[in-house]
Structure 1
Amino acid sequence: MAEGRDDDARPNTGRGASTSAPVFEPGQKVTCIASFDGQQYATEIVDRRIERGEYVYYVHYIERDRRLDEWVTVDKLSSWATTPRPSLARLDTLPSISMGGDLTSPTGDGNTLKVTRRLKRKYEEAHHLAGDDHHAHGGDHGHDKDHHHPPRVKNIQMIEFGRYEMDTWYYSPYPEPYASCTKLYLCEYTLKYFRKKKTLLRHLAKLDIRHPPGDEIYRSPPPPPGQPNYSGGAVTKPPISVFEVDGKKAKVYCQNLCLLSKLFLDHKTLYYDVDPFLFYVMCERDQHGYHMVGYFSKEKSCMEDYNLACILTLPAYQRKGYGKFLIAFAYELSRREGRVGTPERPLSDLGAVSFRSYWTRVLLEQLRNVKGDVSIKEMSDATMIRGQDIVETLQSLGLIKYWKGTHLIHADPRVVQEHWAKFAHQRVIEVDPACLHWQPLPAPTARKRP
């Protein structure tokens, strides 16, 4: 693989790695000056290779999100100190940083955005400072529950997806020779991947269908003429569609979807056995076709109350409220099914942030319209949120108390309004039940013996 170990490799000059610099071994603990803020952190050497006669090292910042992992030169590293060094500042104690600049069009026409891993975005994502709809996931389809797999070297550095370029965050097990490419080109309609753009263009020229291979179960109307898709703080309805894709009927598409999402989900492990799952793919709609924004998956038959397994909003489409829409959509399906729902556990750190934000907003909205006492059961029936999730969310807000063995909602209208003020200007894309044309699968029935 392109980022694999190359200890025995030699550059074209015929020289090996310089012997003047210290040499570190994979697995060794060292301190490293991070590129994102210039501070020193405890790190682990994951891999190394030779570039221009010198070793460069792939490091993992210990107890930090793996999307911060990076290749560094030896001058950034120093031997592990036997006692904690005062200069090893913790990221969560650092002040917020300001690095101005918005996403801009490389062509200047405003039609194409280049999404790169800017330092501010990278810092915020790793420490949950953005708080809207970053990637999240649940129990990863029942695999790798403990999430203690060792860090792996990120192989693919960038993808081109539709009109966007996106820096990747994590390793994804694409097959060779694609896994050795620094950049992959993906078809946003079929999710097929290519090493060269000209091959992708030939593929697109022959492509007749420009939407996911499933049933369009949700289709929102376009905004009125002259009205922008988004208005800050307002409830918005961009032209979006959601497709239900069966993992058994469209196996290759769903496997490609899992490989794509693995680039942005650290702990996702499933990418082959997709038959037992349904994938709900959200798309922006225009005259050219249906452009994938994100997705969530759920098991076809689940004995638990899980209404969502994995969820992802692609980086190019984050901070637009799409993540909250996907969560709300999963709960709307639960409403149609007539049972409460909850995401599959364990949640990732960012997943917990996203769901807690959604639960908080929905529950506060309910409490603003409630007069008198209300029970956990009544709140659950109204929102389809599992009772335990309601209790934990309201406890964090100080709106519930435990008395004589029972949780009681103690919703002071003034306190509720103070909490709600934090959500008043949040960008929201509502799920319109009238636009959803979907019926749940019939419950399996026991086969009678002859």
Structure 2
Amino acid sequence: KYGVLNTRNIKEVVFGNYTIETWYGNGAYFASGRRHQLGTEITPAARKIDDLLSVDGFWLNTLYVCDFCFKYTSDKSKMDVHKVVCPLNRPFPPIGKLVYADTKTKRLIKKVRGFLHELFCQNLSLFGKLFLDDKSVYYNVEPYDFYVLYGADDEGASEKSSKSCIYRPMGFFSVETTAWEPDNNLACICVFPPYQRQCLGLLLIEFLYAAAEAAGQMPLGPEFPLSPYGRQLYLRFWGKRIAFELLNSPDRGGCTTLGDLAVRTGFRREDLLFALEHMGVLYTSDE
């Protein structure tokens, strides 16, 4: 089963002060056994997952997820107790390495290594599955690096946090450090629903390419197939960058090859073709 379901099985998730309707199902939240330490209790449901598969409708109406460490429970009182003692409930996120900071917009990106912070990354992956259709890695996080985007969330802040700036996770992307294809720079990307439509996904992708360029890892691109959300983000990012390069080319009006664009953008040729086709600017010439 490994968490993959054809229908939603959790109606909504309470994430901090936000109540979010889930997009996809996730049976992994209901797995028992050696994974019990992932949540604040053994399992959100009393029955085994095999029994739940025959249930019509939602397996659980409300799941409570800590908006600091992503631990979860079906009991609100347990989450209230947990958040008081959560070691990540700090104004500045104490986990991971700071790799990006914007003091004007109050945005941070922390690099969290899967093999160092396994429990955090497992819980983060489980939460992301509620909004990603094709995500299938939840537990084997050791070969992945997670880049978590944090922001000063005034709207979702509690009375306690409104007195000082507290950074909360808004989304993430992951990179497989042992990928078979070295030109893959992304395994999955997700901006949580309360923080969408703020161009945060584009910020993550732009950071990803900038970091790869600084490390001399260009050209590269995401792992396929992309989720619908990831596909939309990348096509928008690629299209804007391609248009900029073509309009500002010193040889504007002349001949520009895919190789030229790959060098100037750092995008793979197949990604360039994919974006150009989506932009509707490809045509066949008789010459």
Match of 2:223 in 1: 344
Match of 2:138 in 1: 271
Cα displacement (A) at 1:170: 1.5
Match of 1:360 in 2: 239
Which of the residues 152, 171, 175 maps onto 1:298? 175
Structure 2 residue identity aligned to 1:199: K
Q: Is the 8 A contact 1:190 1:212 kept in 2?
A: no
Which of the residues 102, 105, 117 maps onto 1:220? 102
Match of 2:264 in 1: 382
Provide the aligned length of Structure 1 versus Structure 2. 243
Match of 1:129 in 2: none
Structure 1, unpaired ranges of 5+: 1-143, 223-237, 406-450
Which of the residues 202, 205, 211 maps onto 2:84? 205
Q: Matches of 2:179 and 2:86 in 1, distance apart? A: 36
Q: Matches of 1:398 and 1:188 in 2, distance apart? A: 41
Q: Matches of 2:94 and 2:128 in 1, distance apart? A: 15
Q: Matches of 2:4 and 2:118 in 1, distance apart? A: 28
Q: Structure 1, residues 322-356: CA drift from partner, whole Å, max 9, x if none?
A: 11111222211221221211110112334322211
Inter-CA distance 156–334: structure 2 relative to 1 (3 Å threshold)? same
For the pair shown, the structure with the greater C-alpha radius of gyration is: 1
Match of 2:275 in 1: 393
TM-score, normalised with respect to structure 2: 0.76
More helix by share: 2
TM-score, normalised with respect to structure 1: 0.50
Q: Matches of 1:253 and 1:294 in 2, distance apart? A: 14
Q: Is the 8 A contact 1:241 1:285 kept in 2?
A: no
Inter-CA distance 188–212: structure 2 relative to 1 (3 Å threshold)? farther
Cα displacement (A) at 1:288: 4.2
Cα displacement (A) at 1:215: 0.8
Cα displacement (A) at 1:184: 1.5
Q: Is the 8 A contact 1:280 1:296 kept in 2?
A: yes
Match of 2:17 in 1: 163
Q: Structure 1, residues 130-149: CA drift from partner, whole Å, max 9, x if none?
A: xxxxxxxxxxxxxx9xxxx9
1:281 aligns with 2:148: yes
Which of the residues 310, 314, 319 maps onto 2:192? 314
Inter-CA distance 392–265: structure 2 relative to 1 (3 Å threshold)? closer
Cα displacement (A) at 1:391: 2.7
Structure 2 residue identity aligned to 1:184: L
Alignment of 1:68-217 (within 5 A): 151-172=5-26, 173-175=28-30, 177-179=43-45, 180-209=59-88, 210=90, 211=93, 213-217=95-99
Q: Matches of 1:311 and 1:320 in 2, distance apart? A: 15
Q: Matches of 1:311 and 1:241 in 2, distance apart? A: 16
Identity %: 32
Q: Is the 8 A contact 1:212 1:245 kept in 2?
A: no
SS in 2 for 1:260: helix
CA RMSD after TM alignment: 2.5
